[in-house]
Structure 1
Amino acid sequence: MTDILHGRCFCGAVSIQARGQPFQVSWCHCRDCRRQTGAPAVVWAGFRADDVDWFGEPKHRQSSPHITRSFCADCGTPLSYEDERLPGDVYIHAGAFDEADRLVPDRHAYVTSKLFWLHLEDGLTEVETDVRQPHE
């Protein structure tokens, strides 16, 4: 039996089903992610786009070169991003999943952009930039 993670936006107009385990779960400390969510850092779960089913239609917006983010047009919940340099991969906000407690981060990315008052004492790998690689 395949593991399935279920997620949705705040109002329920857009829902997600992701099959299998993510190939990466990462804290992101970049300014773009902070601005998009209003949070001091966010956790992304990376999946092959073919393993993710969307129900409802999220709105898409190019937020920076190479990056397209999606969100619910009704309630504004940020949902995902895709990087054109990593074709076939989609990164979904871990907090959008009902089973978010199953998504354990394995690293911190963009730690040079981290807020100074946020102390990382969890022992995870810390990288200065994004360590995302094309999923093989």
Structure 2
Amino acid sequence: MLTGGCHCGAIRYEISGVPLNHALCHCVDCRRASGAPMVGWAMMTQERLAVSGEPSTYASSEHARRHFCIQCGTGLFYTNDAMLPGLVDVQSATLDEPDELPAQAHIQTAERLGWIAEAHRLPEFERYPPQE
């Protein structure tokens, strides 16, 4: 069982079983909705996701729905009944233990930011600002 929730704790969720896949999405819509260069999504059937609390919903396109916490703004779920009926994507970074679910693929790479290809070469700091 995987568990997770929003930043403030108003919304919690449990995932039963293993997600169908876990992909890192590079599309413009995900970037704009999250403010991040890519978003990890774990896909599963809706029956495998139990949610406590009431997420708000934003219609980001004709069929796409993004579900988030109205209190803290954390993005949580994505549904698109026209394209993916009966399925839900969970933002994997909101898992309590995100390392338990390694990503399996990059998707929508045609829209990937150019500098992402070299991001692994940037300097790394265990803490920022650096501690002396």
One-letter amino acid matched to 1:39: A
What is the TM-score with the length of structure 2 in the denominator? 0.86
Greater helix content = 2
The 1:74–1:112 alpha-carbon spacing in structure 2 relative to 1, beyond 3 Å, is same
1:49 aligns with 2:46: yes
Report the aligned-residue RMSD. Answer: 1.5
- 2:117 paired with 1:119: yes
Partner of 1:59: 56
The 3-state SS of whatever aligns with 1:117 is helix
Q: Match of 1:101?
A: 99
| TM-score, normalising length: structure 1 | 0.84
Seq. identity, %: 39
* Deviations 1:7-52, CA, capped at 9 Å, x for gaps: 0100000000010111010010001100111100111000110011
- Among 67, 89, 92, the residue aligned to 2:90: 92
Match of 2:32 among 10, 31, 35: 35
Q: Any stretches of 5+ residues in structure 1 without a counterpart?
A: 123-136
Q: Would you say how many aligned residue pairs link Structure 1 and Structure 2?
A: 119
SS of 1:39 mapped into structure 2: coil
Offset, 1:5: 0.6
Q: Quick check: which has more Rg, 1 or 2?
A: 2
